């Protein structure tokens, strides 16, 4: 996919197992192979507990996979240590779901934005004010906000500051973990517009976690759908509505409430709940909730197979 674009990060067979009680293991991510391209957005969708945040945390080296490699420009970041790892953090930055939780409440916005730059000795203390203003203006906030504290700002403004802090080091990759889901729809829209604008200007690769397919399709180039630790479908962002094949992706699409939908129609939705990740069924992880479940689904786990060059699906029907 995206032959013309440079691939910057690749994960190979990434698996993460957590030990659980009674000698069981919880497989949070199972054999995940994804690629991030320069200037492109990868959207990762799925229900809570499916392992999407666990996976994205590997990219910023907040956690390490049990097996597999994560290659950033050919180098395995899971093997990095000490100073090399610290230097590598400049290239991959993160924006969290709740910006107030990721700021020190006693620091002024100026110090929050400049802290990563100070850590890497990119600027001197005297330049802080000018630099903070520059980045605040980049995220469409007035420069005077540099003197404020996080609690003096609204949720949307705080999220803009979090984005300003993430871009301050001019990273190549930004990971956003549900960066807009705590915000009002109107604010969410402006934040998405800001992210897309910055991506175009600076050619950043974005890994975006969301559970709202309607939101993610508005700006992702590539969408990966995750269920119980497995990637079940990878497809291009533009036509998810028409070409989604996996029954789980379709269930997600059917459960979107849209102001343009037919209100007289019963909303369809996948029955039941996600089974506990501690006892993932043998075979296809989605078999219990799938309407098209066949005999083979309970025996053999479907592998991701390409339907077209850009569209992969893990389902026995294809």
Chain positions contacting other proteins, by CB under 8 A: 41, 47-48, 155, 184-189, 192-193, 196, 211-215, 217-221, 237-238, 240-241, 251-261, 263, 266-271, 273-274
Least distance from C-beta 166 to other proteins, angstroms?
19
Buried-exposed string 27-64: b where 16+ CB fall within 10 A, e elsewhere: bbbbbbebbbbebbbbbbbbeeebbbbbbbbbbbbeee
Least distance from C-beta 211 to other proteins, angstroms?
6
41 or 159: CB nearest other proteins: 41
Q: Within the chain, what is the greatest distance between any pair of CA atoms?
A: 69
Element (H, E) at 131: helix 128-138
45 strand-pairing partners? 210, 225
95 or 270: CB nearest other proteins: 270
21 or 48: CB nearest other proteins: 48
18 strand-pairing partners? 26
Least distance from C-beta 272 to other proteins, angstroms?
9
83 or 273: CB nearest other proteins: 273
Least distance from C-beta 2 to other proteins, angstroms?
12
Least distance from C-beta 93 to other proteins, angstroms?
20
3 or 242: CB nearest other proteins: 242
Residue 267 has a CB neighbour count (10 Å cut-off) of: 10
Least distance from C-beta 258 to other proteins, angstroms?
4
Q: Is 193 helix (H, G, I), strand (E, B) or coil?
A: helix
78 or 217: CB nearest other proteins: 217
Measured distance CA(200)–CA(143) in Å, rounded: 23
Measured distance CA(201)–CA(198) in Å, rounded: 5
153 or 274: CB nearest other proteins: 274
**Token pair for residue 178?**
């549900």
Full strand arrangement of the beta sheet holding 205-210: 92-95, 173-177, 205-210, 41-45, 222-227, 230-236, 311-313, 305-308
Eight-class DSSP state of 302: P
Least distance from C-beta 199 to other proteins, angstroms?
8
Measured distance CA(314)–CA(231) in Å, rounded: 8
């Amino acid at each position: 996919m995206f032959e013309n674009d440079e691939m910057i990060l690749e994960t190979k067979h990434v698996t993460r197992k957590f030990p659980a009680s009674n000698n069981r293991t919880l497989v949070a991510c199972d054999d995940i192979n994804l690629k991030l391209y320069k200037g492109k957005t990868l959207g990762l969708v799925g229900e809570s507990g499916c392992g999407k945040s666990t996976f994205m945390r590997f990219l910023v080296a907040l956690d390490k996979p049990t097996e597999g490699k994560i290659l950033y420009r050919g180098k395995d970041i899971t093997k990095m240590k000490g100073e090399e790892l610290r230097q590598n953090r400049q290239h991959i930055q993160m924006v969290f779901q709740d910006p107030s939780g990721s700021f020190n409440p006693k620091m002024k916005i100026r110090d929050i934005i400049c802290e990563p730059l100070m850590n890497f000795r990119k600027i001197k203390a005297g330049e802080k004010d000018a630099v903070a203003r520059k980045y605040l203006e980049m995220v469409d906030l007035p420069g005077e906000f540099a003197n404020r504290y996080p609690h003096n700002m609204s949720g949307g403004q705080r999220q803009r500051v979090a984005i300003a802090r993430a871009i301050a080091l001019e990273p190549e990759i930004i990971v956003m973990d549900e960066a807009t889901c705590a915000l009002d729809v109107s604010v969410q829209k402006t934040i998405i517009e800001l992210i897309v604008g910055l991506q175009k200007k600076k050619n950043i690769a974005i890994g975006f976690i969301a559970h709202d397919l309607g939101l993610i399709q508005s700006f992702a180039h590539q969408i990966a759908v995750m269920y119980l630790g497995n990637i079940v479908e990878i497809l291009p962002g533009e036509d998810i509505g028409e070409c989604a094949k996996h029954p789980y992706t379709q269930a997600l699409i059917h459960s979107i409430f849209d102001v343009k939908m037919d209100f007289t129609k019963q909303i369809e939705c996948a029955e039941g709940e996600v089974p506990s990740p501690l006892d993932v069924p043998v075979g296809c992880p989605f078999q219990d909730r799938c309407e098209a479940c066949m005999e083979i689904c309970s025996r053999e786990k479907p592998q991701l197979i390409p339907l077209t060059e850009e569209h992969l699906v893990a389902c026995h029907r294809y």
